[in-house]
Amino acid sequence: MATILDGKEAAKDIRRTVAEGVAVLKNAAGIVPGLAVVIVGEDPASVIYTRSKARAAKKCGMLDILRKLPEETTEAELLAVVAALNDDDRVHGILVQLPLPDAIDEERIVAAILPSKDADGFHPVNVGLLSLGQPASVPCTPRGILSLLDRHEIDVTGMEAVVLGRSNIVGKPMAALLTARNATVTICHSRTKDLAFHTRRADLLVSAMGRPEMITGEMVREGVVAVDVGINRREDGTLTGDLHYESVAAKAMAITPVPGGVGPMTIATLLGNVLELAQRSGGEG
């Protein structure tokens, strides 16, 4: 039977550890880690995500600043908000919720965040540091996945790791982190010719495509470690991942559920990132 990689439990532990770290930093250096979350517009999913990120920061003792801007916000106005947060000493981590309205150039906004306050690890400097294998602010979802694997003592060294998806926020940084951990990494995407050929070779399969239940048991090998990043909404409103859970779980050594797998790890890891940025701002870490 597959081990369930329970992200909810792991995330609780991380949040507890972060809350302890926040308390220590307050007492030792008088620094209260601050997370600023910026949202433009009213996209329902983004509203929920930003609210839960700000709430999670507050719950572990951080200062949470939520900046809600109207849909009509211009790029210049958003750049001014980011510049003010860059200059605000209370703020150690800045996160601009993506996607942004079409009229705003996302890359320009992400690049305007100080790399030393980049809570999401999306700034080109941090992307470069990660690819060089140097200390960097690391995107939360792939970093959270590694924490979950570590917690279950799954060592990826030498594994055939197949990552489905090549986005800047999940697929690419996941591949970089797995390479740094000495896995042999293959990245697949929508132009990959024979997806099943690759998925069947995987000792570790990380799926981040956003394609509901596309990966079935027939497409994986016996003993695979299956990590499902996908969050897809079924017609009845319930959530499902990219993996067909029952058939993949029947062959897997370990598997993440959706919901309750990778999702909770993302926010917990964000809090860990902000704590680290605050520690560095105080000369620690």
Report, as residue numbers or ranges, the catalytic residues.
53, 97, 120
Q: What are the E-state strand segments in the chain?
A: 3-4, 34-40, 63-69, 93-96, 160-164, 184-188, 204-207, 225-228, 232-233, 239-240, 254-255
Q: Which position among 231, 268, 274, 275 is part of the footprint of ligand NDP (CB under 6 A)?
A: 231
Position among 54, 148, 202, 262 found at the interface with ligand NDP (CB under 6 A): 262
CB-nearer residue toward ligand NDP: 25 or 165 = 165
Stretch that binds ligand NDP, among 10-18, 126-134, 215-223, 227-235 (CB under 6 A): 227-235
**Residues contacting ligand NDP: total by CB under 6 A:** 25
Question: Is 225 in a helix, a strand, or coil?
Answer: strand
Q: Binding of ligand NDP at residue 220 (CB under 6 A)?
A: no
- Taking only Cα atoms into account, the Rg of the chain, rounded to an integer number of angstroms, comes to 19
Structure tokens at 261: 């797998």
- Nearest distance, CB of residue 122 and ligand NDP, angstroms: 11
What is d(CA 200, CA 222) in angstroms, rounded to the nearest whole number?
Answer: 9
What is the DSSP track for 144-178? HHHHHHHHTT---TT-EEEEE---TTTHHHHHHHH
User: 141 or 147, CB closer to ligand NDP?
Assistant: 141
- The residue within the footprint of ligand NDP, chosen from 61, 93, 121, 165 (CB under 6 A), is 165
Tell me the C-alpha to C-alpha distance, in Å, between residue 143 and each of 136, 140, 169, 172, 192: 11, 5, 11, 12, 25
Stretch that binds ligand NDP, among 9-17, 59-67, 146-154, 260-268 (CB under 6 A): 260-268
Asked if 142 and 173 touch (Cβ cutoff 8 Å), the reply is yes
* Binding residues among 177-216 for ligand NDP as defined by CB under 6 A: 188-192, 195, 208-211
CB of 246 to ligand NDP, least distance (A): 19
Instruction: Identify which of residues 33 and 241 has a Cβ nearer to ligand NDP in the complex.
Output: 241
In angstroms, the CA 259 to CA 257 distance is: 6
How are beta strands 225-228 and 232-233 bridged, if at all?
unpaired
Angle, CA 123 vertex, CA 43 and CA 46 arms, to 5°:
10
Among residues 154, 170, 185, 219, which is the contact residue for ligand NDP, using CB under 6 A? Answer: 170
Residue 199 amino acid letter? T
Q: Which stretch binds ligand NDP (CB under 6 A): 28-36, 70-78, 161-169, 247-255?
A: 161-169
Residue 173 C-beta: closest distance to ligand NDP, Å: 10
Are residues 268 and 14 in contact, defined by beta-carbon separation less than 8 angstroms? Answer: yes
Residue numbers at the binding site for ligand NDP (CB under 6 A): 141, 164-167, 169-171, 188-192, 195, 208-211, 229-232, 262-263, 266
